[in-house]
Amino acid sequence: MSERWRWESWPLRTKLLLLTASISTLGILLVCTSLVVVENRTSEEQLESELHVIAGILAEQSAAALLFEDSQQLNTVISSLDQIETIEQVCVYNVAGEVMSAMNGAGYEPCPSLDVEPAVGFVGDYYRLLEPVMLDGDIVGRFYLMSRLEVLREHIWTFIVISFSVGVGIQVLLIWVASRLQRLVSEPIVELSNAADRISHEHDYSIRVPVYGKDELGSLGSTFNEMIGTIQQQNRKILQSKDDLERTVAERTSELSLANRELEAFSFSVSHDLRQPLRAIEGFGQALEEDCRDQLNDIGLDYLGRIRAATVRMGSLIDGMLVLSRVSRQAMEVERVNLSIMLGEIVQELQDTTDAVPSEVTIQPNMHVVGDERMLRIAFQNLLENAWKYTSKNEKRAIDVSACEKSNSITIALKDNGVGFDMKYVDKLFVAFNRLHTPAQFSGTGLGLATVDRVVRRHFGRIYAESTVDTGACFYVEFPRPERGPESGLQHQATRQNWREYG
Amino acid sequence: MAKGDCSILVVEDNPDDQILTMRALRKASSHSPIILQEDGQSALDFLFGTESSKCSPQVDSIGVILLDLKLPKVSGLEVLRRIRSAPQTDWLPVVMMTSTDEPNELREAYRLGANSFVTKQIDYSKFSEQMCLLARYWLTVNQVPMIGSFRSSRKGSAGE
* Domains by residue range for chain B, with CATH: 2-142 (3.40.50.2300)
Contact call for A279 and B102, based on CB within 8 A:
no
Would an 8 Å CB–CB cutoff place B96 in contact with chain A?
Answer: no
Residues on chain A touching B129 (C-beta within 8 angstroms): none
**pLDDT at position B155 over 80:** no
Minimum Cα–Cα distance from B127: chain A residue: A283
Q: Nearest by CB to B16, from A272, A280, A311: name it.
A: A280
Q: How confident is the model at residue A497 (pLDDT cuts 50, 70, 90)?
A: very low
Q: What is the side-by-side order of every strand in the sheet holding A462-468? A: A359-363, A397-405, A409-416, A472-480, A462-468
Whole-angstrom Cα distance, residue B141 to residue B63?
A: 11
SS in 3 state form for A203-218? CCCCCCCCCCCCCHHH
Whole-angstrom Cα distance, residue A501 to residue A231?
A: 41
3-state helix, strand, coil in chain A (%, to 5): 60, 15, 20
Contact call for B124 and A282, based on CB within 8 A:
yes
Per-residue pLDDT, A135: 82
Would an 8 Å CB–CB cutoff place B123 in contact with chain A?
Answer: yes
The tens digit of pLDDT for each residue in A66-125 reads: 888 888 888 888 888 877 778 888 888 888 888 888 887 666 677 888 888 888 888 888
Q: Let me know: does A336 contact A306? Beta carbons within 8 Å.
A: no
Minimum Cα–Cα distance from A330: chain B residue: B103
Would an 8 Å CB–CB cutoff place B26 in contact with chain A?
Answer: no
Minimum Cα–Cα distance from B27: chain A residue: A287
Would an 8 Å CB–CB cutoff place B1 in contact with chain A?
Answer: no
Question: What sign does the dihedral A280-A286-A291-A297 (CA atoms) show?
Answer: positive
Chain B nearest CA to A265, separation (Å): 12
What whole-number percentage of chain A has pLDDT above 70?
A: 94
Would an 8 Å CB–CB cutoff place B120 in contact with chain A?
Answer: yes
- Report CA Rg, chain B: 15
Q: Let me know: does B131 contact A289? Beta carbons within 8 Å.
A: no
Would an 8 Å CB–CB cutoff place A275 in contact with chain B?
Answer: yes
Q: What is the side-by-side order of every strand in the sheet holding A99-104? A: A99-104, A87-94, A138-148, A126-135, A121-123
Q: What is the mean pLDDT of residues A467-485?
A: 81
Would an 8 Å CB–CB cutoff place B100 in contact with chain A?
Answer: yes
Sequence spans of domains, chain A = 2-172, 332-502
Whole-angstrom Cα distance, residue A279 to residue A311?
A: 8
Q: Which CATH superfamily is domain A2-172 in?
A: PAS domain (3.30.450.20)
Q: Let me know: does B146 contact B61? Beta carbons within 8 Å.
A: no
Give the CA count within 13 Å in the CB-facing half-sphere of A383: 30
The tens digit of pLDDT for each residue in A257-290 reads: 888 788 777 877 777 778 888 889 999 999 998 8
Contact call for A279 and B127, based on CB within 8 A:
yes
The tens digit of pLDDT for each residue in A110-145 reads: 788 888 888 888 888 888 888 888 888 888 888 888
Q: Which residues contact A391 (CB under 8 A, 6 or more apart)?
A: A357, A397, A398, A399, A416, A417, A418, A419
Whole-angstrom Cα distance, residue A376 to residue A148?
A: 123
Per-residue pLDDT, B81: 94
**pLDDT at position A341 over 90:** yes
Chain B nearest CA to A333, separation (Å): 14
Give the CA count within 13 Å in the CB-facing half-sphere of A246: 5
Contact call for A280 and B101, based on CB within 8 A:
no
Minimum Cα–Cα distance from B68: chain A residue: A272
Looking at every residue in chain A, the average pLDDT score rounds to 84
Hey, of B124, B127, B129, B131, which one would you mutate to test binding to chain A, going by the most A CBs within 10 A of its CB?
A: B124
Q: How confident is the model at residue A218 (pLDDT cuts 50, 70, 90)?
A: confident
The tens digit of pLDDT for each residue in A30-51 reads: 999 999 999 999 998 998 898 8
Q: Which CATH class, in words, describes the domain spanning A332-502?
A: alpha beta
Per-residue pLDDT, A242: 94
Hey, of A271, A278, A353, which one would you mutate to test binding to chain B, going by the most B CBs within 10 A of its CB?
A: A271
Would an 8 Å CB–CB cutoff place B70 in contact with chain A?
Answer: yes
Would an 8 Å CB–CB cutoff place A325 in contact with chain B?
Answer: no
> What is this model's ipTM?
0.76
Highest mean pLDDT of the ranges A256-260, A372-376, B1-5:
A372-376
Q: How confident is the model at residue A4 (pLDDT cuts 50, 70, 90)?
A: low
Per-residue pLDDT, A80: 80
Q: Nearest by CB to A286, from B16, B19, B125: name it.
A: B125
**pLDDT at position B152 over 60:** no
Q: Nearest by CB to B122, from A273, A287, A311: name it.
A: A311
Per-residue pLDDT, B51: 58
- Report CA Rg, chain A: 61
Closest CA relative to residue A358, chosen from A320, A391, A312: A391
Q: Residue B97, Cα to own-chain centre: how many angstroms?
A: 9
Contact call for B16 and A286, based on CB within 8 A:
no
